Amino acid sequence: MIEDMRSKNAGESATETLVLAPRARMQSPRRRPFRVGGGAFWYVLPAATLILVVIYLGVAYTGYVSVLDWDGLSPNPEFAGIDNYLRAFTDPVFWECLAHSAVYAVIVIPVNMAIGLTMAILLTQRVFLSGVIKVIMFVPVVLSSAAIAVSFRELLGADGMLNQVLRAIGLGGLAQPWLAQTSTALYAIALITVWATAGLNFILYQAALSQIDEDTIEAAQLDGAGKFRIVRSVIFPQLAGTHATLILLGVIGALRMFDIVFLTTRGGPAGATEFLATYIYRQTIDVFNAGYASALSILLLLIALVLTVVQLQMSRRRSETVAW
């Protein structure tokens, strides 16, 4: 009998809960917009001051130096106006650097995204040693660029391990000095970057996949959709925000590419891997042309800002289209 009473009370409680829950939701207070009060301002002030001093004042100083004819050492720099900017537009190396960044981005961004998305989808299933595979995927991301560059310089050298393997299996005709000839150096740099950064794409895609509503996938399965159709029509569109973020990061990374190039080829051979960042470094340190290097830096900043705004606008319009 006691059990019957407990069951009856439990049933009544459940019924009351079901009845009262919508009412409680209706009576819940309206969500107030977040506002930064006067107290929060003082918490934000140190970080805002640090950013203002370190970044924005640095950009302003670089803009000032960009209108000077200055070697970076002379106490009496001369005012040059926009001559440094006009020189950049007529400098063939400047356009070659942009072309190299474009080729690099076209290779690295899609390959990285394809590897990251494929591995993230596969590892959402029950896979043997999935934890070990995830660690292996992410380890290159935390390695230093110096260690990666030195390792691949030995691997892809004329007598490196790759060429030794090719010769050992009878494919010696394919052996190349991958980083030392103009026809392969840029692609070798792209390969190194894919190896080093694919894990970041994998982690971001895996985090995004965990946010997809499983009911949506189950509904598609009940409608008879196969795995590839679910990936193409359900999962891929819902990862639009992650796609846009990775493309944006990839484009900015292509424009800022420096460490791997500098530590492997230093922009060579014959400028085949010269990027804008390495060219700015050479103009500043090797040629002592701080004014021109500053103008190139400002142009690099403007290009990155324009591309970022364009991509954000495209992503916003795509999101609005999907929402409608």
For the segment 241-283, what is each residue's pLDDT rounded down to a tens digit? 899 889 989 999 999 899 999 999 999 898 999 999 999 999 9
C-beta separation of 117 from 239 below 8 A? yes
User: Which among 94, 21, 92 has a CA at the least distance from the CA of 275?
Assistant: 94
Q: Which residues face 78 on adjacent strands? A: 69
* Residue 110 vs residues 195, 225, 242, 247: alpha-carbon distances, Å: 13, 26, 13, 8
What angle is formed at CA 41 by the lines to CA 39 and CA 42, rounded to 5 degrees?
75
Task: Tell me: pLDDT of 28 over 60.
Answer: no
Q: What is the pLDDT of residues 124-164, one digit of tens each?
A: 887 788 889 889 989 999 999 999 999 999 999 888 999 99
Distance (Å, rounded) from C-alpha 156 to C-alpha 195?
14
* Residue 138 vs residues 104, 130, 152, 200, 295: alpha-carbon distances, Å: 22, 12, 18, 7, 37
How confident is the model over 11-15, as a mean pLDDT?
Answer: 44
How confident is the model over 219-239, as a mean pLDDT?
Answer: 88
Task: Tell me: pLDDT of 231 over 70.
Answer: yes
What angle is formed at CA 162 by the lines to CA 140 and CA 203, rounded to 5 degrees?
20
User: Which pair of structure tokens corresponds to residue 262?
Assistant: 């500098």
At residue 13, the pLDDT reads 45
Using pLDDT thresholds of 50, 70 and 90, give the confidence band for residue 8: very low
Percent of the chain exceeding pLDDT 70 equals 86
- In the CATH scheme, what is the code of domain 41-319? 1.10.3720.10
Task: Tell me: pLDDT of 23 over 50.
Answer: no
Half-sphere exposure of 127 (CA within 13 A, CB side): 13
C-beta separation of 157 from 179 below 8 A? yes
Our CA dihedral for 202, 208, 212, 218, rounded to 10 degrees, sits at 0
Give the SS3 label for residue 291: helix
C-beta separation of 192 from 152 below 8 A? yes
Q: Which of 19-33, 65-79, 183-197, 226-240 has the lowest mean pLDDT?
A: 19-33
Distance (Å, rounded) from C-alpha 8 to C-alpha 6?
5
Half-sphere exposure of 114 (CA within 13 A, CB side): 7
